[in-house]
Amino acid sequence: MQNITQSWFVQGMIKATTDAWLKGWDERNGGNLTLRLDDADIAPYHDNFHQQPRYIPLSQPMPLLANTPFIVTGSGKFFRNVQLDPAANLGIVKVDSDGAGYHILWGLTNEAVPTSELPAHFLSHCERIKATNGKDRVIMHCHATNLIALTYVLENDTAVFTRNCGKAAPSVWWYSRMALAFCRGWCPARTKSARRPHKRCKNIRWCCGPSTASSAADRRWMKPSV
């Protein structure tokens, strides 16, 4: 039996969450991360799955994600602990055939559940699937300290942020050619409050708020060549 904790996607989540913790971007249980998978990714690990997967309905159906698996961080979980106990802090979920809910196939032990911001992640995944024909697979919410600092010294405006980041570090243009976007007065969480930022994901890769940033693409997550 293959051990799912050695899979590329679990190891990738461990790497990403550890990196974010070390950067100071995800204090305590701040931040969350989701990665869209394919059935082929999880097929070798069925023996690791829960015998009776829990089912959780979505507050808003998302048919575009029907039958799609994801690996996600858990609600109230600390990024610093993912490397210590992946099964307790991560979970693999699969959206049902109607897009009305999902089963927890692996992880999230002791009745844990996915991040409370899963609706925002799923809505953003839908936008990036349409915008990139499925190429982008990652949504990351973090508290990027340098960007937070900039909110206190720059005008909180999309054009101002994009221009100044590009002037300070020209390589920003290489990784964020579709610019940054600033969302005012928004507290991310469940479906209702997720609708505002997810619309920005049609045209941008980073969305910056007073204390949050979310990415719809990360080169670290490109699947390994076969």
Domain boundaries, the chain: 4-221
Round to the nearest angstrom and report the end-to-end CA distance of the chain: 21
Q: What is the mean pLDDT of the chain?
A: 83
Residues linked to residue 54 through DSSP beta bridges, in sequence order: 104
117 is catalytic: yes
The pTM of the full predicted model, rounded to 2 decimals, is 0.84
Look at residue 225 and tell me whether its pLDDT is greater than 70: no
Range with lowest mean pLDDT among 12-21, 79-88, 204-213: 204-213
CA distance 86 to 141: 19
How much is the pLDDT for 147? 82
What are the φ and ψ backbone dihedral angles of 95, each rounded to 5 degrees? -70, 140
Identify the three-state secondary structure at position 196: helix
Q: Mean pLDDT: which of 134-148, 156-170, 194-208 is highest?
A: 134-148
Q: How many Å apart are CA 144 and CA 55, to the nearest integer?
A: 33
| SS3 (DSSP) at 69 | strand
Share of the chain above pLDDT 70, in %: 77
Least confident range from 51-55, 72-76, 79-83, 126-130: namely: 126-130
DSSP character for 109? T
3-class SS of residue 116 = coil
Task: Pick the range with the lowest mean pLDDT from 14-28, 34-48, 126-140, 156-170.
Answer: 156-170
119: which residues sit within 8 A by CB, 6+ positions away?
58, 59, 60, 190, 191, 194
Q: Which of 27, 111, 117, 127 is catalytic?
A: 117
Q: Tens digits of per-residue pLDDT, 181-222?
A: 777 655 555 555 555 555 555 555 555 443 333 343 344 444
Token couple for 10: 């679990």
Averaged pLDDT, 150-167: 84
Ranked by mean pLDDT, which of 85-89, 117-121, 209-213 comes out on top? 85-89
Q: In the prediction, which pLDDT does 157 show?
A: 84
Q: Where are the strands (E) in the chain, listed by range? A: 32-36, 54-57, 69-73, 90-95, 101-107, 138-142, 180-182, 206-208, 213-215
Q: Into which CATH architecture does domain 4-221 fall?
A: 3-Layer(aba) Sandwich (3.40)
